[in-house]
A = this chain, B = another copy of it.
Amino acid sequence: MNAGMDVFFLTMGAAMVLAMHAGFAFLEAGTVRRKNQVNAMVRVLTDFGFSTIAYFFIGYGIAYGTYFFAPVPELMQLGGKSNAYELVHFFFLLTFAAAVPAIISGGITERIRFWPNVLATVVLVSLVYPFYEGLIWNGNHGFQTWLNSMFGAKFHDFAGSVVVHAMGGFLALGAVIMLGARRGRYSKDGRVNAILPSNIPYLALGSWILCVGWFGFNVMSAGVAGAVSGLVAINSLLAMVGGMLTALVVGKNDPGFVHNGALAGLVAICAGSDIVHPIGALAIGGAAGVIFVFGFEIIQNRLRIDDVLGVIPLHGVCGAWGGIAAGIFGSTAMGGAGGVTFMTQLVGTLTGVGLAVISGFAVYGAIRAILGLRLSEEDEYQGADLAVHQVAAYPEEDMA
């Protein structure tokens, strides 16, 4: 009976995070130009598909040492839990793993080639992500033990500010740089040209789906229903609101900033959502909203990195902020539950960021060298929808 409830619990969590991938799809489709909407949506969907294959056959085993090749009667009792709990646990964690390519997708969109991108997805989800995931969440390779002995606590990342988001966001750094900016984005004379989003309502829909699904992402990270905590829910809520409202003000009412600001808050709260005080969560989220807006402008306009959706500031920087913030606001001095230290959080976060940056350059650099990453100039000009999918987003319209 307990096991049944836990399976129910994680199924809901997994379904909610699965839905978040639809959120990624719409956020991206709304932000790109019309001629790339179909490609954005198909890539997000199929990246999820390839991630599933990669994680099922390889990745999950690397992180947790578990494989699913036994016959059904054994699978039903895998790990000693009934009702095939372990299988839904895989499903839940897959939806996290698959978020990594979904995050990167928003940075490299409008010019990436299809199959090279699939290859990157498979490599990241079968190897890179599970390596760090196992390090942090499964205690692999003694990293957590070492952190504990050095800095007095294990690295605490409850729902993946660093394991998922900073990882995805900083992997995107290498990807976007290896790929180069969209044609026309930066003129030789130094001007930055606005390439405008096609559809704010799609963007908003994507953001809403992500916001709602995030409560599965965070709350169900408890793993079993008995361990669930209302604190995680309220902290997610307040961080979301904090990010949305500071982005509203700092971003001067811009709908892109407001809708992504809510996500910035949610990214940042994942790590400490089970230990910080709700008012701490509001502060963490509020700071994330500000970080996102300024980070976006610096990366786009100052550093001239054409990260289309702003996934580096959103998931990368705000994720790292969340990892570190858990070490600050999680302390009992700040009204938190304690059990964390600032130094562990800092070192654990930087390790993740470093691994992501290096892997991003390595993986996308290698694929560029071997296969090439970019659409041809002509394909980019006519749009990935026609170039890759032989059809536009609104086919009826094209028939005069």
A interface residues, how many (CB within 8 angstroms): 115
> CB-defined interface of A165-178 with B at 8 Å, one 1/0 digit per residue?
00000000000000
User: In the complex, A197→B365 CA distance in Å?
Assistant: 39
Chain B residue at minimal CB-CB distance from A52: B241
Contact among B227, B233, B245 with A46 in the assembled complex (CB-CB below 8 Å): B245
Alpha-carbon separation in the docked complex, A228 to B83 (Å): 6
| CB of A129 to closest CB in B, whole Å | 17
A50 CB, nearest partner CB in chain B, Å: 7
Chain B residue nearest in CB terms to A95 = B237
* Min CB–CB distance A392 → chain B (angstroms): 8
Question: Shortest CB–CB separation between residue A197 and chain B, in angstroms?
Answer: 6
A40-77: contact bitstring with B at CB < 8 Å (1 yes, 0 no)?
01100110111011001000000000001101110110
Q: How far is B233's CA from A9's CA once the two chains are assembled, in angstroms?
A: 12
A72 proximity list for chain B (CB < 8 A): 231, 275-277, 335-337
Which of A199-207, A352-360, A369-377 is the contact stretch?
A199-207
B201 touches A71 (CB 8 A): no
Contact A204 B25 (CB under 8 A): yes
- Indicate if the CB atoms of A14 and B233 lie closer than 8 Å: yes
In the complex, are the beta carbons of A196 and B234 less than 8 A apart? no
Instruction: Spot the interface stretch: A15-23, A301-309, A312-320.
Output: A15-23
Residues of A within 8 A of B (CB): 1-2, 4-5, 7-12, 14-16, 18-19, 21-22, 25-26, 29, 33-34, 37-38, 41-42, 45-46, 48-50, 52-53, 56, 68-69, 71-73, 75-76, 83-91, 94, 114, 194, 196-202, 204-205, 208-209, 211-212, 215-216, 219, 224-231, 233-234, 237-238, 241, 244-245, 248, 252-256, 258-259, 262, 275-279, 282, 332, 335-337, 388-399
